[in-house]
C-alpha cells in the first residue's frame, strides 16, 4: 500500500510540474493504476475488493484519462501546452510538502493515523492538487487537479480508516465520473467559444 501511495504522490508532483497536457493524462492514468493496486493489496482479496479495483481501474485509468486525451487530440498543438509554472509555486509546493510532516507530528499522539507514510502521500497530494488549481491556467489542468485531489483523498482516507466501505468507494467513483464528464464537456465548449484554453478567458463572462 505504501508503494502505491508513493506512486500517487509522485504522479501528483508530475501533474503540477508538467506543462504538456498529454503527459498530464498519463500521470492521471498512473494514479488510477496505483490506486487500483492499493485497493487490491489493502486486505484479503474478496469479490468486493476485486470489483472496486476493476471499477477504479476503469474509471481512473480508462474513462477519465481517455476522455481528456480525446479532447486534447482534437485541439491544435498550441492548445495542448499550459503556461509555465510561476516560480512562487515551486516554493509553495516545497513548503506544503514539508508542512505535512509537521501535521503528522501533531496528530501522532491522538492515534488517528494508522499508516504514517500513506497519510503523508495522501495529504501532500491534496496540497499539490490545490496548488495546481491556483497556479495553472489551462482549463484541462483544472480538471486534472480536481481528479488528483480526489485521488489524494482516497489515499488519505486509507491512512486513517484502513479501508473505506464498499458503498462509499463506489459512490465516490460515480461522483467523480459524473463531475469529470461535465468538466471535460465544459472544456470543449470553452475552447470552441473562446478559441482559448486559458481560464482567464472566462473573465469575459462577467456581467
Across the chain, which has 207 residues, the per-10-residue mean pLDDT values are: 90 92 92 91 82 90 90 86 87 92 88 89 94 89 91 90 71 82 82 75 59
Q: What pLDDT, on the 0 to 100 scale, is given for residue 198?
A: 75
pLDDT attached to residue 46: 83
Give the pLDDT confidence score for residue 175 in this predicted structure. 80
pLDDT of residue 165: 66
Give pLDDT, residue 171: 78
Task: Output the CA–CA distances (angstroms, integers) from residue 129 to 8, 42, 118, 203, in the order listed.
Answer: 11, 24, 16, 23
Give pLDDT, residue 19.
Answer: 87
Could you tell me the residue ranges of all domains in the chain? 2-205
Grid coordinates representing 127 are 496540497
Q: According to the model, what pLDDT value does residue 205 have? A: 57
Q: Are 133 and 146 in contact (CB under 8 A)?
A: yes
Amino acid at each position: 500500500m505504501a508503494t502505491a501511495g508513493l506512486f500517487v504522490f509522485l504522479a501528483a508532483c508530475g501533474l503540477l510540474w508538467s506543462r504538456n497536457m498529454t503527459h498530464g493524462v498519463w500521470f492521471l492514468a498512473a494514479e488510477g493504476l496505483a490506486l487500483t493496486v492499493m485497493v487490491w493489496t489493502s486486505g484479503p482479496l474478496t469479490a468486493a475488493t476485486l470489483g472496486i479495483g476493476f471499477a477504479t481501474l476503469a474509471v481512473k485509468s480508462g474513462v477519465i484519462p481517455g476522455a481528456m486525451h480525446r479532447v486534447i487530440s482534437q485541439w491544435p498543438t498550441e492548445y495542448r501546452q499550459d503556461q509555465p509554472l510561476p516560480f512562487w509555486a515551486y516554493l509553495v509546493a516545497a513548503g506544503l510538502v514539508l508542512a505535512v510532516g509537521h501535521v503528522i507530528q501533531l496528530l501522532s499522539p491522538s492515534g488517528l493515523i494508522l499508516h504514517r507514510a500513506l497519510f503523508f502521500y495522501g495529504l501532500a497530494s491534496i496540497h499539490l492538487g490545490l496548488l495546481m488549481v491556483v497556479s495553472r491556467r489551462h482549463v484541462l489542468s483544472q480538471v486534472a487537479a480536481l481528479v488528483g485531489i480526489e485521488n489524494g483523498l482516497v489515499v488519505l482516507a486509507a491512512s486513517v480508516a484502513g479501508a473505506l466501505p464498499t458503498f462509499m468507494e463506489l459512490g465516490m467513483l460515480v461522483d467523480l465520473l459524473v463531475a469529470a464528464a461535465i468538466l471535460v464537456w465544459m472544456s470543449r465548449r470553452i475552447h470552441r467559444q473562446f478559441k482559448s484554453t486559458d481560464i482567464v478567458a472566462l473573465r469575459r463572462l462577467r456581467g
